[in-house]
Structure 1
Amino acid sequence: MLTGRLLTISSLLLISACSDNDDNSTPAPAEPTQAEIEAQITSVLRQQIASLGLTGDPSTDRNIPSIDAPLAQLGMQLFYSKALSGEMDTACVSCHHPLLGGGDNLSLSIGVEAVDPDLLGLGRAHSSSGTHNDGGPTVPRNAPTTFNMALWDRSIFHDGRLESLEATPTMNGAGDTIISPDSADGTTADPHATSLTATQARFPVTSAEEMKGHNLGNLDNAAIRQHLVARLKGETNELDNNQWLAAFQTGYQQPDADAASLITEANLFNAIAEFELSQTFVDTPWKAFVEGNDNALDLTEKRGAQLFFTAVEDGGANCVQCHSGDFFSDELFHNIAMPQIGRGKGDGVNGSHDFGRFRITQNVIDRFAFRTPSLINVEFTGPYGHSGAFVSLTEVVKHHLDVQTSVANYAVGGHVYQANVQHNDTQTNTQAALDKLLADRNIEDQLGLQDVSLSVEQITQLVAFLHTLSDRCVAQDNDPQCLSQWVPDETLLDPDGLRLEAKFQ
């Protein structure tokens, strides 16, 4: 453990001896230069990095496909096609666009029945003639980024309803025991699960609000997937233009295979997963610093890193307690009393609440707990929280530091840019989560957010450090065209003419 308080480090560097103006007194030592202060902070950071065993690269020893690989290209064709939605008005990319940080830039997503299916991000709205229309977003949770899907080993989704019980490091959940909503009793392995990413790809198409729509009757998960496979094969005659066989032959490099053997449920979702796995973006200034480049971070960013990694009792913010490792997530579930906005998941008296992990485990300790997100590329993956309650990264940091004040002062209009987000029960629902958090602080071994007093300058430093976790491609600093590799152009076959051509306001 590092000795001394964080603030003491800076104080010792700046202290100077008093002089009584006696000719024989010892001259006051010169104040340390900026370079000397930075060198000391860099040294302390390097000690912290070593003690935590950080390498800077969470993708080490993982199977990361190239976006140029044929299977990833097929996955991109599928990811952008509205043919995978029940009513052919929505694509995977509707809520997970690379140019929107792998999300949709909305607090809460609008999947099916959008006024303009090709308009993404702010301005996307649910049609007034749509099912259960109330003017607000129809999906009750924020769309997690698809960036760095390859780096999760334990669970997917905010509540972890897709979970690898083995959670073998670097394996993306691959193994014999992945629990999913398709598991027979909630504890039995999903027989179709191969990895977390490939299994996750199977579920958005089954959600009525996300992609399934409301006009296919009561098809269960298996039936809707079978229907989509039949559609791509041409068996339902729903596609006026159908070149999916050629696309699958190219993607799987089997030019002579027929539709029956190639266009299968497993092949469809494995291809989508390959595209998602290729979206691995970890080339950050922080990685460069950890790997030895002292100049990869400036002094403000280094001070922010110290705050991040230092315990509260030593003058830091202790963010590392949950945002641990090179991936900056412990992959566990915590209640941080994130404001509850939107329709909710049907929990609580009015059904407008979301009990989070409790919905899966039915363990009271898990009520209001949600999975710790990774902080890689966090600058570009907002809005933040399971409900997208904060647009500003600075404000969500302040919420972590002083939850009670944040909840007391929370107003949707001040923190959410999206129009018409439902919030009638926000204060009551959020207070329930806060009460649970405060009670949990008194339970031994139960992790709860600590109050941390930081100055405005220190919060600025902490946010500056978080910005150093942005991949250069995602930030588009040096190559504005870098992310275009994950957006299909006219040279890539559009197999059904239903490719979503995104528009942004």
Structure 2
Amino acid sequence: MMLTRARCITVMMLGLPLWGCDNDNDSRRSGSNDTDELRQFIGQQVGGLDKLTVPESNDDLPQPLLADGTPDPFFQTTEAKRYLGKQLFHDPVRTVRIRPEFGGIPETAKTGSCGSCHFGEVGSKAGTLFNFSVGGEGRGYTDAQGNFIPRRRPRTDLLPTIRDTPLYEGDVLVDALPTLTDVYERAVGSPARGNKLPDPGELVTTGRLDAIDSVSRNAPTIVGAAYNNRLLLGGFAGEPDDAPGGLNPFGHPAQENVTLLLLDAHRMLESQSAELQQIPAYERLFRDAFPEEAAEADAENDMDKLINDMTVFRATASFLRTVVTRNTPWDRFLAGDDKAMTVAQQSGARLFFTDATDGGAGCYSCHSGPMLNKQPNDPDVTGMGEFIEENFYNLGLADHPLQALNRLARSDQSFRDDGRREITEREDDAFKFRVLTLRQLKGSKNFFHNGLFTSIEEVVDYFNHGIPQGVVSGTNATLSPRFTNPRGPDAPRGLGLTEEQTADITAFIEDALFDPAFVTYDPDSTTESFQLNERDFNYSLYRPYLASLGAIDGRVISGLAEDNNDPLSRRDKGLEFLDVTDQLDTTLIQRLQQDQQQHDLYELTNSSDAVVDTHLLVIVKNLPSGTEMLNASGTTSNGNPYLRVFLKDGIISPTKRIDSKLLFGFITPPAGEPPIIDYNLQFMSGQGVP
């Protein structure tokens, strides 16, 4: 409630905070500029700033404990397990479970990884509406400003067309089922369905083994995985095995369970170990991470005792537990840095932690704890959490477009993704999805489980209006009043914030919760980069024992490309280049010679049936002695100058054309009329230096 002007004057005279005062000289945006007061206010809202603080050491991040409070050795996070898990997460060598009888394409083996849908550049998410692992191609490219543009698409050059009519916008007619959909003789459901009664019959087809590994929800962030007792958007991972939709045969915590589920879903389970056992550097890493298992393997002369699905997912889970950010402006502000956040970000933080009934946004009621992913009153708010169902909400969202494949598989056009209900089979869980961290969302591109929101501003605006997007979920009895009527049942819908206030909340979430070191390696930061960094895979310098065992600098342990190993991804990573000279018709449309320079303008037309993508590298060969290229981007390994052309949307489509200008000059100006500078052109696609 706003204070009256008289009360505001009294408060001001007492030197108390001005938040809530309605006068001509103070706005709700500025509130109090007293950063100490703001920290005190936030601490009061959540029960102390320690409830929001991320531990500096990985050893102090949440992990399963024994009854005496010490880490359980089986699950304990160690540096050896973390490093092995990080390598495994990003290594495509494991995706070898290709089954042609279910539609798998042998040529797609070893082309995807966990990292196919989780890039550090986009907050450990996919950054695209459609998320593909095996059967997809590409990773992303940079534009002229250095922004990373994620781009992964189906391998239409390899995958067979399986229908004539698109089911959704963007359907390229090659995808049969989403990854976590199984079709049995008498039922359709998740992989858990095959282990439940009544007996569903034989498995007929499955998205776990078809031609392309696709996900029918937006790939969630990995950030803060340790702070969850349920993972995946419906809470599949961590659910007890005896739950109607549970698949947790070992009774493991969410982190180990999710890695097991995804080994199965993403073409790795039962097949990866044989590949890993052939790589000496991996054997060394497994020995370092699992010394007891190594001793058993040696005693029985059986490498399966050391390198197997369980040690793989235990190591991967250790990596997941350490994926956090520690050095955002928000973290520095909590630690006492008064200048860490801008005025707008501080205003956004105040609104974030102010109840909606008091004129704020009340975001903290679902987004508290160090990872901003829990209820503030969760007894274990700084750990994995005790609350379970309290962290799932129906926000009235529509389906992800790929759910059209599930409707087709079920022959039921009324089917909708019902979230938590798929796991619990409780009607009061219909359309509820897991609350996720708000850290590192900047640049993530797609938001919510359906991926249909493309900016943080859109998400904030959605909450501000409180009007459901989906017809079915938005009219279900489970629709949360925290979304529709956060100010109370008799108040108008939504938060009722001004445009300036929503901009401030956006600034807080987008910039104050973003840690650059998560994206770009910073040796001075306590935040680890999500992608492999210099210390991870510059083996010859930092890990010579791995280099001596065959590890190649700049690549994952197997020697393949990081994350994806298809040709387009290798070009995206600058590991190889494609000669596209024959795809382009080249026309010199203008040549000017002036001031001892030659300006050549070319029209380049894609005359092929395939796109030219990534960066176009215009390589100039056979330049005459004494001349030089003035607008060269660099020099190839053969000493030829080249121009890097950043393509609009990363491609030149068939029949489309672009212009490219090349500038030349003379190292020593010639006497008299300068001659025409002749040369040859070659065109390559790829990032990096050719």
Normalising by structure 1, report the TM-score. Answer: 0.72
Shift of 1:398: 0.6
Give the Cα separation in 1 of the matches to 2:519 and 2:80: 26
Question: Match for 1:159 among 234, 238, 261?
Answer: 234
**The residue matched to 1:346 in structure 2 has which SS?**
helix
Q: How far apart are 1:88 and its partner, in Å?
A: 2.2
Unpaired runs of at least 5, structure 2: 14-22, 64-74, 98-108, 142-147, 164-170, 176-213, 375-387, 540-545, 564-568, 574-613, 615-690
Whichever structure has more strand as a proportion of its residues is 2
Provide structure 1 residue ranges, at least 5 long, that are not aligned to the other structure. 18-28, 164-177, 213-223, 235-240, 408-429
Contact 2:473 2:479 in 1 (8 A): no
* CA–CA distance in structure 1, aligned partners of residues 480 and 512 of structure 2: 32
CA contact (8 A) 1:84 1:205 kept: no
The 1-side partners of 2:111 and 2:27 are apart by 61
1:127 is matched with which residue?
A: 155
C-alpha separation between the residues in 1 aligned to 2:517 and 2:76? Answer: 14
Counterpart Cα distance in 1 of 2:114 and 2:482: 43
Residues of 1 paired with 2:538 and 2:4: CA distance?
59
Deviation at 1:366, TM superposition (A): 1.6
User: Pick from 126, 145, 150: which aligns with 1:104?
Assistant: 126
Residue number in structure 1 paired with 2:311: 267
Q: Say yes or no: does 1:384 pair with 2:383.
A: no
More helix by share: 1
Aligned to 1:498: 560
Among residues 19, 32, 41, which one is paired with 1:47 in the alignment?
41
Aligned residue in 1 for 2:436 = 373
* 1:244–1:118 distance in 2 versus 1, CA, 3 Å: farther
CA distance in 2, matches of 1:294, 1:117: 39
Structure 2 matches for 1:92-491, cutoff 5 A?
Answer: 92-116=114-138, 122-128=150-156, 129-130=158-159, 134-135=171-172, 138-152=214-228, 154-163=229-238, 179=240, 183-184=241-242, 186=244, 190-207=248-265, 211-212=266-267, 225-233=269-277, 244-252=282-290, 257-258=297-298, 259-330=303-374, 332-344=391-403, 346=406, 349-350=412-413, 353-404=416-467, 407=469, 430-436=470-476, 441=481, 451-466=494-509, 467-474=511-518, 476=520, 483=529, 486-487=532-533, 488-491=536-539
Structure 1 equivalent of residue 603 of structure 2:
none
Give the deviation of 1:379 after TM superposition.
2.2
In 1, distance between residues paired with 2:318 and 2:482? 44
Deviation at 1:225, TM superposition (A): 2.5
Partner of 1:62: 61
The sequence identity of aligned pairs, in percent, is 21
Greater relative contact order, per chain length (Cα 8 Å cut-off, separation 6+): 1
Measured after TM superposition, the shift of residue 143 of structure 1 is: 0.9
1:129-174 CA-partner distances (Å, limit 9, x unpaired) = 436574178320111112221222x2100000123xxxxxxxxxxx
Kept in 2: contact 1:59–1:151 (CA 8 A) = no
Q: CA separation in 1, counterparts of 2:478 and 2:283?
A: 57
Kept after mapping to 2: 8 A contact 1:328/1:375 = yes
Structure with max Cα Rg = 2
Residue 450 and residue 14 in structure 1: after superposition, are their counterparts in 2 closer, same or farther (change >3 A)?
farther
SS at match of 1:79: helix
Deviations 1:41-94 (A, max 9, x none): 752552242242132314484258999922222222222222221232211111
Quickly say closer, same or farther: Cα 1:13–1:143, change in 2 above 3 A. Answer: farther
Structure 1 residues 16, 268: CA separation in 2 closer, same or farther (over 3 Å shift)?
A: closer
Encode CA deviations 1:438-470: one digit per residue, 9 max, x unaligned. 966499x99999511111111111111212122
C-alpha RMSD of the superposition: 4.3
Task: Please give the per-residue CA displacement for 1:376-433, whole angstroms capped at 9, x wherever unaligned.
Answer: 22224441101211121101111111142x73xxxxxxxxxxxxxxxxxxxxxx2112
Q: Match for 1:342: what amino acid?
A: P
